[in-house]
Structure 1
Amino acid sequence: MRVARIIARMNVGGPAVQVTGLSKALQQAPGVQHVLITGQVGEDEQDYLDAHGRGVQVLRVPELGRAVDPWDDAVAFARVTRLLRRLRPDIVHTHTAKAGVVGRAAARLAVPRARVVHTYHGHLLHGYFPPAKTRAVIAVERGFARGSAALVTVGAQVRDDLLAAGIGRPQQYRVIPPGIPPLVVGDRATAKAELGIDPAAVVVSFVGRLTAIKRPDRFCDVVRRVAATTSAEVVFLVAGDGSEAAYVRQRAADEQLPIQMLGWVEQVAPVFAASDLTLLTSDNEGTPISLVQAGMAGVPAIATDVGSVREIVADGITGLVRPTEADDLAAATASLIADPVARRKLGDAAIEHTRRFTTDALAAAHLELYRQLLGARGGRPLSLLR
């Protein structure tokens, strides 16, 4: 089985974590030839493959980046088309919006007999674009969905949102939850001390890209409210970077907010080892990998009720899921800052809840899907693919 996986860029984030783990697992699977086709990250981004991509077979198409540029997109399409003609994959699997367009269009031209799969790690239906542009995105996605053998979503709510927008048919969809390597964390007091934080302080982490959709402004609002209402020593630890990083730094300085900025970090384990809580303030998500990682570390999450967050955080059991209002998030955060017993109970439950989100399960689900698709095509016998 020959698999070509296409993603626009491997910037630090959930899709890159999953694609890297999946690529490594499938390269080791008997009878599978796997290659990853990707572009370059932006100047304000870090390439996840630099730190974690050792062993992944990668073909670079520099023009296959995030920004929409007619010339670069045309060049990317031509280069991906040539690569697919050379590779002759049985499966072309695209990830994220831009690669979904370029990769699926190239597959139609270069390898019309290949089975084409697209994964939605989230969607662009809410919070990204003005209404007119959102309608255009939906129209494009509807068109490419018709030519896809299967559509994968990382959560059931993401699937339901896409179906409600008229993208694809129910029978095309497969929900495959995220899978990541186990997260091993050390002692919390030691981890805090290594970051220069008083071990007695309560640490609330924010792990992710600092971009508009993640609502760092809302995060700062929560910090301000919590700092004004709690007598405990609290440090809000931000691991990530992006276009809104300067905004967060400026607000922290102007309002004297207890925020410590780490920038990009190659390993998130030390961050979660130091965390008593983690906070997600986004307007839109798929299934946030940072919340899976937090759960593996025994860190309860306070998260906005968006996307498939509830499929990662069980409200009142492994964390708290709240509306997108800063007041609601601040109240939930303050309540857990004041209650270490509740934090411990939620954290222990989170460890158990996240045990199922493994790379092995992710790879097994994808292999099963590919074999079903190739069998349905009437191609090579499945015995040759095992």
Structure 2
Amino acid sequence: MPDTAHRPVRVLRIIARLNVGGPAIHVTLLTDGLRPPDFESTLVCGNIGPQEGDMAYLAEERGIQPVIIPELGRALSPLRDLVTLVKLWRLMRRQQPDIVHTHTAKAGFVGRVAAWLARVPVRVHTFHGHVLHGYFNPAKTRLFLALERLTARLSDRLITISPALADELATEYRVAPRDKFEVVPLGLELTPYAETPRHGGDFRARFNIPPEAKLVGSVGRIVPIKNHNLFLQMAQRVRDVFPNAHFVIVGDGESRAATEATVDALGLREAVTFTGFLRDLRSVYSDLDLLVISSDNEGTPTSVIQALAAGVPVVSTAVGGVPDLLRGGEYGRLAAPRNPAALAEAIIAALEDYHTDQAAIQAAMLAQYDAARLVNDMATLYRKLLAEKTETRQR
């Protein structure tokens, strides 16, 4: 085992790509926070795919220069994956990291195998969600599950961002025993959202949304798992009660064209605005009356945390780690997934009832999901795992 008492702990962090979403924010904040004198961090990623929003600017703003491995993409590809494996192994043999920490499914597979082959002392993987439900056909899902179970055996610890996700992976999917999982909640830079006044009007003015309209929004990628069709079916029902309600979809992705076609088919063109990807979301949350998650599967959506930190009420389908995040409905309303009537009912109730103490919820978000807390939690876990490995080797 390396002696890290007199030098920084070397961490190699691997993610498939820095596309728009919580994982890209997460790895950037950890790479930035775990710096000398206590740590040396290297971030490795692949390239952004077509129609994906790029969040590499977050790393650039912090002076982080990722190591790019072009073959490290999202999809399984035997030849490209073998090339990625070899390149990662060579990088690890050259850098001699004490810890390899992988994020997202594909990077988790090749990264942990490479780390095992390179005899990296500590191997860790974070599940920001999972792809074992709602993403692929049954045969491909079984393949991913087999790979998850295999690489779990190569891992010293598996991290999830919510207790429910750890329970699901251990109990329902049997990826690994529950005691191999550690829960480390997300951490984000939330103060800018909390300090932005509510109903500033800039976002509405920019996109010609009437100031008196009830504004309901979705923030994130436009991809099948987010189920924007459900969002639009809900919009139809909400408009029956609030005729002036307006709906905004902030983001982009592979399903945008199909989603726009659904808008036209449902006769909602005048009531729905697409903004594309936006870097600064403060004005968005400032003007939203309600944030909605309509997904079929989720980890812990950063948009929910950001919205609550900004004082925006939230309604979500009860999937993945969202019920944990919303405290079973204490911090926001939950609705059955894939049920337009149930989602619309919850949204109508939220728009009619603004008596919830958003200030208390806002304070809870700032306390529980702070970026500094995330960095400290991860540093503590890393040192614990290194100490355990040293103790095991000395027996």
TM-score strictly above 0.5: yes
Shift of 1:369: 0.7
Within the candidate set 372, 377, 381, 1:360 is matched to: 372
Contact 1:300 1:346 in 2 (8 A): no
Within the candidate set 157, 168, 183, 1:150 is matched to: 157
Shift of 1:245: 0.7
Shift of 1:51: 4.7
Q: What value does the CA root-mean-square deviation take over the aligned residues?
A: 1.6
2:6 — aligned with what?
none
Q: Does 2:207 match 1:199? A: no
The alignment partner of 1:99 has SS state of: helix
Contact 1:319 1:350 in 2 (8 A): no
Distance 1:366 1:306 in 2: 26
Q: Does 2:384 match 1:377? A: no
Contact 2:223 2:255 in 1 (8 A): yes
Written as runs of structure 1 = structure 2, the 5 A alignment for 1:305-316 is: 305-316=318-329
Shift of 1:187: 4.1
Shift of 1:308: 0.9
Distance 2:344 2:160 in 1: 31
Shift of 1:136: 2.2
Distance 2:216 2:387 in 1: 49
1:94 — aligned with what?
102
Shift of 1:346: 4.5
1:166-216 CA-partner distances (Å, limit 9, x unpaired): 111222211000100023323414233343222221111100111111111
Distance 2:120 2:387 in 1: 13
Report which stretch shifted further, 122-131 or 85-94.
122-131
The alignment partner of 1:188 has SS state of: coil
Runs of 5+ consecutive residues of structure 1 not aligned to the other structure: 380-386
Shift of 1:132: 2.8
Distance change >3 Å, CA 346–CA 263, structure 1 → 2: farther
Shift of 1:315: 4.5
1:248 — aligned with what?
259
Distance 1:315 1:138 in 2: 28
Contact 2:214 2:246 in 1 (8 A): yes
Contact 2:100 2:120 in 1 (8 A): no
1:383 — aligned with what?
none
Contact 2:293 2:317 in 1 (8 A): yes
Within the candidate set 62, 75, 88, 1:67 is matched to: 75
The alignment partner of 1:348 has SS state of: helix
Distance 2:357 2:261 in 1: 33
Written as runs of structure 1 = structure 2, the 5 A alignment for 1:164-313 is: 164=171, 165-182=173-190, 183-184=192-193, 185-191=196-202, 192-231=204-243, 233-257=244-268, 258-313=271-326
Contact 1:318 1:346 in 2 (8 A): no
Distance 1:264 1:85 in 2: 38
Task: Supply the AA of the counterpart residue of 1:195.
Answer: F
Shift of 1:239: 0.6
Runs of 5+ consecutive residues of structure 2 not aligned to the other structure: 1-8
1:338 — aligned with what?
352
Distance change >3 Å, CA 357–CA 367, structure 1 → 2: same
Distance 1:179 1:141 in 2: 25
Shift of 1:243: 1.1
Contact 1:312 1:354 in 2 (8 A): no
Distance change >3 Å, CA 316–CA 121, structure 1 → 2: closer
Within the candidate set 10, 14, 25, 2:18 is matched to: 10
The alignment partner of 1:36 has SS state of: strand
